Amino acid sequence: MFCPRCGRPIDEGAQFCPSCGFAVSGPGTPLASSASPSPPLLLAASRLVLVYDKLSMMANFQFQDATGRLLGTTMGEVAFPLKYTLVDDRQQVVLSLDATRVRGLLYDYLIHDATGRVLASIHQESSFMSRKYQMSVNGQADWLLTTDASGYHYEIRSAPGGVVVATGQRKPALRTSTTQLEITEGQPLDHRIILGAMILLCYFTRK
C-alpha cells in the first residue's frame, strides 16, 4: 500500500509512513492500497517561491507556487535558538527545524521529520554570520550550503562531486523578501531536507 500523504510505498500494517511520518492507520485514517496518490504539492514541486513578510510579527515564511498559491507555511516559536515547524496546505507537519548549541555562538541546526526523527544536521563553519554551512545526512558530511557575499544567492551541492541539487535567488522588496527556489529534477537529496535548509538560509538573510 501507499502513504495517503506523500504517496510513497509502505509495508502492510504499518502505523506510520517511514518517509514522512504520517499516521497511516487508526480510526478514520484512509489507506491507499491500489495506486499511489499525488504527494502534497509542497513535496512535489521543483520550483517554489519562499516569501518573508517583513511587517509580520513573527519571522515566518510561506512557500508558494509560481501563481502565488500557498503550498506551505512555517510556524515559528518564540525561542532562542530558533525553532520552526513547516506545514503543508493541508496543515500536515512536513518537518521541524531547531538548533542545538555547539560552542560559543556556533550551533548545529537539526531537520526532523514529522515523527521527530533527525533527517539532517547543518553545522555553521565559522561564526554566527557564516555564509557557509556543512550538512550531514545519515552521519555523513556530504553536502555544502553556501551563499554569496551579499546573501542574495543560495546553493546546495554535494561536497564530493559538486553536484548542485538546489539553488535560491533572493529578491528583497519594500514589504517582502522573496526567494525563487529551484530543486534539480531527480536530485538525490530528500526534498524535506532542501526545504529545511532553505528556511535556515533565508532566516539569516531575510532583512
The model's pLDDT over 172-197, given as tens digits with 9 standing for 90+, comes to 888 888 999 999 988 888 999 999 99
The reported pTM is: 0.78
CA 17 to chain centre: 18
Segments of the chain scoring below 70 in pLDDT: 1-9, 18-39, 57, 77-80, 103-105, 126-130, 206-207
What CATH code would you report for 41-204? 2.40.160.200
Beta strands in the chain (DSSP E): 47-53, 61-64, 70-76, 83-88, 93-103, 106-112, 118-124, 132-137, 140-147, 153-158, 164-172, 176-183
Using the 8-state DSSP alphabet, how is residue 133 labeled?
Answer: E
**Structural domain spans, the chain:** 1-39, 41-204
pLDDT value at residue 34: 44
Other beta carbons less than 10 A from residue 192's beta carbon = 23
